[in-house]
Amino acid sequence: MSEPDATITARLTSPTHAALATIGVLGPGALAIAQRLFRRRVDWNDTPLDQPLYGDFGDRIVDDVVLHLVARAPIPEFVVHCHGGPAMVRSLLVDIEKQGAHLVDWRAYLAHQGKSAIQIEAAEAMSRTISWRSTAILLDQSRGLLDEAFRGIEENPTRDAIDALTRWAPLGRHLVDPWRVVLFGQPNVGKSSLLNALAGFDRAIVTVIEGTTRDLLHATIALDGWSVELIDGAGLRDDAGEIEREGQRRLTALLDEADLAIQVVDLSKPVDPNDVVLADRHQPPLLIGNKVDLTTESEHRSAFATSWSRGETRLIPCSAVTGEGLAQLTPAIVASLIPEIPPPHTPVPFTMRQLDWLAAQRARIT
């Protein structure tokens, strides 16, 4: 247990290897530590709170960080966002400890501040997230934004105030749990190669033999700063063997539960009527035309014009082998999952307990 007047530091995000880590420093010595370790001239008395400050931090210049000054009084606090590699995080924590801060876990860090239940929930969620966008939103909630919104509703419950919060419920539920994106299509259209290309490593075994993937393959990645679980499974065809049919059954069941289903087709071949049947059956908002590197520009444009430019489905030509089109695919996936991103400092409910409370407040309105 840290003393009330101690300066403490803690890693506030997940201890697992992630793209981003957030370190907090809290206590009377926090600003002095920031002055000594942040290698950039800053007017700590006039710098606006929460203004992102970019620069080097620590005794050893490892990489740039982003520093936010959270509070000057009554308890000075700042946070540092850095790359999530364990070695870098540990190096920065050691440097902060050398300046007199005591290392604690995130629970003790919050207890030191007398946080509310929602703030503790936010910090716990932040300790499990792996994406920087989720961390930023949860960090806002850990500072009391959602508490303030709840107090306003408790005092004066209105539909508009409740709706302003519940509109972010789908996003809030995925700040820790990743969005689930299922790739489906016929065998040998390159789903596994596409999963590997998006994930950046060989998660799936890729061969030219149809039906190689017979079980579900999962890869959790960060797309534009959001946590996304990609799922690939057996190719959907009628003449599958018994084991492959079980894989197809599992994949089909997931299509109804997924946050986004994406169909993959082979642009290097003539339009397959079975692909059209699958598209009509599942109505995917995104259709990936893979293997564009094996065809000509006019050929894949013709396929797009004659078969896929209909309804709400958007076709994106790409190549899992060369990477062509992947830069357009990532924002298309993110836009389908998250059509609107909350502005900074927006209260966002992120647990079922919070949503149940909002539902109860709505029931009070006659």
pLDDT, tens digit, 9 for 90 and up, residues 293-348: 887 766 555 655 555 555 566 788 889 899 999 989 999 999 999 999 999 999 99
Beta carbons within 10 angstroms of residue 96's beta carbon = 27
Long-range own/partner contacts, residues 335-341 (CB < 8 A, 24 or more apart)? 336/260, 336/285, 336/286, 337/179, 337/181, 337/226, 337/228, 337/259, 337/260, 338/171, 338/179, 338/226, 341/133, 341/171
User: CA nearest 109: which of 2, 209, 14, 32?
Assistant: 2
The domain spans of the chain are 8-123, 179-337
Rounded distance between C-alpha atoms, residue 37 and residue 9, angstroms: 14
3-state class of 30 per DSSP? helix
- 348's CB contacts (< 8 A; 6+ apart) are 137, 140, 141, 146, 165, 168, 171, 172, 175, 342
Q: For residue 143, what pLDDT is reported?
A: 87
Q: What percent of the chain has pLDDT over 70?
A: 82
Which CATH superfamily is 8-123 part of? Probable tRNA modification gtpase trme; domain 1 (3.30.1360.120)
- pLDDT band (50, 70, 90) for residue 76: very high
Lowest mean pLDDT among 16-25, 182-191, 259-268: 16-25
Q: Is 242 exposed, middle or buried (0-12, 13-18, 19+ CB in 10 A)?
A: exposed
Q: Tell me, what's the pLDDT at 304?
A: 55
Tell me, what's the pLDDT at 208?
A: 35
Side chain identity at 81, as an amino acid letter? H
Q: What is the DSSP string of 36-85?
A: HHB-S---TTTSPTT--EEEEBSSS--SEEEEEEEESSSS-EEEEEEE--
Structure tokens at 8: 């403490």
| 99 pLDDT tier (thresholds 50, 70, 90) | very high
CB 194 within 8 A of CB 286: no
CATH 2.130.10.10 fits 179-337, yes or no: no
Cβ–Cβ < 8 Å for 20, 81: yes
38 and 55 Cβ atoms separated by less than 8 Å: yes
pLDDT(148) > 60 = yes
- Is 16 within 8 Å of 22 (Cβ atoms)? no
150-208 pLDDT per residue, tens: 999 999 999 999 999 999 999 999 999 999 998 888 888 888 888 888 887 544 333 33
pTM of the predicted model, to two decimals? 0.70
Query: What is the band of 212 on the pLDDT scale with cuts at 50, 70, 90?
Result: very low
Q: Are 97 and 2 in contact (CB under 8 A)?
A: no
**The pairing of beta strand 77-83 with beta strand 20-26:** antiparallel
Q: How many angstroms separate the CA atoms of 225 and 133, rounded?
A: 5
Range name among 34-43, 190-199, 246-255, 271-280 with the lowest pLDDT average: 246-255
343 vs 27: CA distance, rounded Å:
29
Write the CB contacts of 291 (distance below 8 Å, at least 6 apart in sequence): 189, 190, 266, 267, 268, 319, 320, 321
Of 28, 179, 22, 153, nearest to 102 (Cα)?
A: 28
